[in-house]
Structure formats: structure tokens, C-alpha cells
Amino acid sequence: MFLSLRSPLCVLSYIILGLLSVVTVCGNLLVIISVMYFKQLHTPTNSLILSLSVADLLVGVLVFPFSMAFTVTSCWYHEDLFCKIRGSFDVSLSTCSILNLCCISIDRYYAVCKPLIYRTKINDHVVVIMILVCWGISALIGIGVIIAGFNQGKCEGSCLLDALISTTMGCIFAFYIPVIIMLSIYLKIFLVAQKQARSIQNTKSGATVSKLERKATKTLAIVLGVFLLCWTPYFICMIFQPLLYLSTPVAVIETLNWFTLSNSMLNPFIYAFFYSWFRSAFRMIISGKIFQGDFANSKL
């Protein structure tokens, strides 16, 4: 049973979920401004991080409000159009996040495993194509799911559940297969990095570059790990639910869904914790220093 719009619990829910939305938007906005403003951060890897942050920012702007309304009031007052719009944004942006993470894993593979050809294989032109493909496929999937009948019929308390059951195959192609690919790539990177660490006999500068690449890879692997931690319970529930003919309570689905949405809030904190240059950039933006002069070429 969903909450009354005037109940204290309803108001508290809106406040808490609203704060999550604000933190998500502000955190990812810091990442976006940092990458766009500071020239030191103009790298192929950070361009992909920028794309991921834009997807996470849109989750905070577009998905959070719809999800808040659904969690607190259900779809009773919005009929099926409400759920269709929510489902479209949710599917599109989650797919975009996954595809961006796939591209980041490919970038890290070339940076660590094939450093000599990294700059020729992963350049600005290639990164732009990667980003366009990510967003293009995500938009098509979001539109296609609606056209294929996502959330058709009257929208009742179980509309989200019915939609999730109808998209089981979508879970496999949009989540499980990309995740298996990413895990395989990071396993390969880990093995190569371990081999490099044992046999490195290069110059000091070469060793430093290799160490920086491995640190970047480790941080981005943590981003992937947090993503899996947030998303896997949701997709496990979705994949087994129709197979076992079980009807999962909407409250459980909503809890898992909010766990997945929280991933969009966590990534900026990971960057700030592991990257000193992101911390420096965040401090300069929050303090307003970048508005007091031209600091685009600052050493972070």
C-alpha cells in the first residue's frame, strides 16, 4: 500500500529521495565541469568519464523525480504514460552507463596491455565515435522498448513488475552480456598489469607512466565494481522472477531500483577519493576560484 500524499512518512520520503537527487546532480556536475574546464583533464579516458557523468546527471534530473513519484504514490494518478516515460528514461540511461563502462574498459585495455599503440587506437576521433555509439544505441533501446509494448495496458500497482518481466531478454543483452565482456577485459588487464609489475625493467619515467596507468585502471575497476554491487541484485531478481513464476512485491522492486539509482550518486565520490587532480578541481570549483580568473591551464 502506497503512502498518502499528506502523510509525514510521504513528506520524509520526498525529502530523503530529493536529497539523493540533489547530491547526484551536484556531484556529477562537478565531474563534468572539471573535465570540460581544466585542460589537464582533456584525455580520452576522462572524455569517457565525462560521458558517464552526463548519463548519471540525467538520472538525477530525469529518473529520480519520476521514481520518487512512483515510489510514494504509485502510478494510480498518471495512468500508463507515466510508467512508459519513466521506463524509457530508466532503460536508456542505465544502458548508456553500461555501454560507457564497456568503452572505458576497452580504453584501459589498450592503455595497460598495448601501451605502444594506445594513442593511435584510442584518440579523440575514436572516443567521439564510442560516445556517439553509446548514446545512439541507448536512445534506440529506450524508444524500441516503448514501441515493443513496454508497460502496455492500464498502469496499476504492478505495472513496473509486468514491464520488468516482459524485458527479461533485455536484461540479458543490456546487462549480463556487457558485464561478462567487461569482467573478461579487466581480468586480462589485471593479469598483464601483474606481469608488468614483476618484470618492469624500464626507465624511471617509463615505470612512473606504467604505475599511473595501473592506478587509473584500478580506480576505474572500482567504479565497475560499485556499479555491479548496485545493479546485480536488481537484475538477478529480474532474471529469476519470470522463470520461477514468482510475484515479487512492488516494495522490494522499488528498493532494488533505488539501490541501482544510487550508483549514479557514488561515482563522483570515487573519483574524488582516488584521484588527487579531481579533488583539486572540485575544491577550485566549489570555492568559486575558477570564476576569479583563468585557471584552465592550472596544474592539478
Q: How many domains does the chain have?
A: 1
Check which CATH number belongs to the domain holding 195 and give it: 1.20.1070.10
Q: SS3 of 180, please?
A: helix
Residues 6+ apart with CB under 8 A from 149: 166
- The whole-number pLDDT of residue 153 equals 39
Q: Say yes or no to pLDDT of 185 above 90.
A: no
Residue 40 makes CB contacts below 8 A (sequence gap 6+) with 277, 297, 298, 299, 300
The answer to the question of residue 158 being in a domain is yes
pLDDT of residue 1: 42
What's the pLDDT score for residue 7? 67
Query: Is residue 298 in a domain?
Result: no
- Answer yes or no: is 178 within a domain: yes
pLDDT reading at 81 higher than 70: no
Q: Which amino acid is at 272?
A: A
174-189 mean pLDDT: 85
* 169 part of a folded domain: yes
Predicted local distance difference test score (pLDDT) of residue 54: 95
pLDDT for 151 equals 42
pLDDT tens digits, residue range 208-233? Answer: 556 666 666 777 778 888 888 888 88
pLDDT given for residue 154 in this prediction: 41
Assign 243 a pLDDT band (cuts: 50, 70, 90): low
Q: Which of 90-94, 115-119, 213-217 has the highest mean pLDDT?
A: 115-119
Distance CA 107, CA 122 (A): 7
Give the SS3 label for residue 132.
Answer: helix
Residue 77 is predicted with a pLDDT of: 46
| Domain span holding position 77 | 8-291
Report the predicted TM-score, pTM, of the whole model to 2 decimal places: 0.81
Q: Domain for residue 93, yes or no?
A: yes
Residue with cell 569482467: 183
Cα–Cα distance for residue pair 225/197, rounded to 1 Å: 22
* pLDDT tens readout for residues 133-166: 999 998 888 787 667 654 443 444 445 455 445 5
Determine the average pLDDT of the residues in 180-187. 87
pLDDT of residue 131: 96
**What integer is the mean pLDDT of 109-124?**
88
Q: Per-residue pLDDT tens for 248-271?
A: 677 777 788 888 888 888 888 888
Mean pLDDT, the chain, integer: 78
Residue 152 included in any domain: yes
User: Is the predicted pLDDT of residue 167 greater than 60, yes or no?
Assistant: no
Give a yes or no: residue 114 inside a domain: yes
- Tell whether 297 is covered by a domain: no
Label residue 31 by pLDDT band (50, 70, 90).
very high
